[in-house]
Structure 1
Amino acid sequence: MNIIEFFEANAGKWLSQRTSHNLAWPGSESGKAEVQIDLLTASQPEVIQLCQQGNLAAAQALCGARITWKGMMAAETQQQIGTTLLVALATGDNLNQGQLLQQNGRKGLLSGRYLLGSDEVLTLTTASESLYLEERLWFAGPNLRLRTSLLKQPNGFSSATFCSEIRIGGSQSPAAVAPVVTSSAS
């Protein structure tokens, strides 16, 4: 699988169940969200515009995704709603590693890196003066994806999150998504 096929496999509507743990105090919080992921081609205006904002050549764009969500953490009373635009850009001949641009209303334009390993686990890394975020995504089946993330901020705030997401609408990409099988030697 390459990065374009990975993006395609994410298209659709997902039900996300999330558990977050702030590493500064005991306990965790959980929540649910509906997540819609729409695939964007490299030639779509949103992708080109994001490349221009990041001062990068739009010709390097491989694909993009528009991710919208609405959900709520268990301890909150107000629903969280948002949209993020992602664009994967080639930085060489290997399509499975490169630069990732992210436009998020709350955080503005962020630039990071992506790496799609031979195990078909996508690792996204974003670092700036105000945060370090590492997210890993993989498929346990065609309609079940898993995500983990680790967020660190200079003020000492750190959190870890695990999400399990079930596709509840939309179609699976033409590229079949095989479950990741791991084994360990005893």
Structure 2
Amino acid sequence: MTIERFLTRSQGQWRSMRSAHSLAFRQFEDVLSHIEIVLLSADHPDVSDILTRESIDPATIFSPFQMSWEAESDWEPDDPSATSKGSCILIPIPENDRAGKLVRSVGYAETESAASTYHFLDDDTFVLHTTYGQSIAEERIWFISEHVRCRSSVLRTSAGSGVLQTSFASEVRRIATE
């Protein structure tokens, strides 16, 4: 698997069902999400802003993309019907065909920009490692078929010694019908 093939397979609209276990709060959470992944041009204004801010040479990047989501969780203590939504820009910087860096405008675990490393396992699983100020996240994404993929994550303390949260999601591509 290469980052190009992974992103080509990932683009589109997905319906996600995620179960998370927060060990810190001793809470289980079920989340239903709509996720959209759109490839962007290297000269997209948001991409250009990030490249300038992070002092990244545009010649080193490959297939920037935007990921947007809207989620409904069963763990909203103040308003159970509340939804959360957001969007981030992700910019891959390949080091070779199977590994590289990924710059994110907003992180998965903490709402700050983040630089991650990625690599592909021999079974084509995409593995993403991100170190934040307060935590370390590892995400894995693999395809079951053309329109079904799975995603797991583990969130650890910044020292890496304790597990804060684990999650598993199955995601199904939404196919447009005419």
Is the structural similarity TM-score above 0.5? Answer: yes
Task: Give the TM-score band, short-chain normalised.
Answer: 0.7 to 0.9
Distance in 1 between residues matched to 2:4 and 2:43, nearest whole Å? 14
Partner of 1:182: none
The answer as to whether partners of 1:7 and 1:64 remain within 8 angstroms in 2 is: no
Partner of 1:20: 20
The answer as to whether partners of 1:52 and 1:58 remain within 8 angstroms in 2 is: no
| 1:54 CA drift (Å) | 1.8
Q: After TM superposition, which residue ranges in structure 1, 4 or more long, deviate above 4 angstroms? A: 154-157
Q: Which amino acid aligns with 1:100?
A: L
Is 1:115 equivalent to 2:119 in the alignment? yes
| 3-state secondary structure, aligned to 1:119 | coil
* Correspondence for 1:125 among 122, 129, 142: 129
Equivalent residues, number = 169
| Cα 1:110–1:146 shift into 2, 3 Å | same
* Correspondence for 1:97 among 73, 96, 99: 99
| 3-state secondary structure, aligned to 1:63 | coil
The answer as to whether partners of 2:127 and 2:141 remain within 8 angstroms in 1 is: yes
The answer as to whether partners of 1:47 and 1:61 remain within 8 angstroms in 2 is: no
TM-score (norm 2): 0.85
Distance in 1 between residues matched to 2:63 and 2:47, nearest whole Å? 8
* Correspondence for 1:152 among 140, 150, 156: 156
**Identity of aligned pairs, percent?**
26
TM-score (norm 1): 0.82
Partner of 1:178: none
The answer as to whether partners of 1:51 and 1:57 remain within 8 angstroms in 2 is: yes
The answer as to whether partners of 1:41 and 1:62 remain within 8 angstroms in 2 is: no
| 1:154 CA drift (Å) | 4.2
Q: How does 1:26-105 map to 2 (within 5 A)?
A: 26-76=26-76, 77=80, 78-91=82-95, 94-104=96-106
| 3-state secondary structure, aligned to 1:86 | strand
Distance in 1 between residues matched to 2:117 and 2:92, nearest whole Å? 9
The answer as to whether partners of 1:51 and 1:101 remain within 8 angstroms in 2 is: no
| 1:129 CA drift (Å) | 2.7
The answer as to whether partners of 1:102 and 1:111 remain within 8 angstroms in 2 is: yes
Distance in 2 between residues matched to 1:132 and 1:21, nearest whole Å? 16
* Correspondence for 1:168 among 157, 160, 174: 174
1:128-167 deviations in Å (ceiling 9; x for gaps): 3322010000100000010000112349670001010000
Moved more, 45-54 or 157-166: 45-54
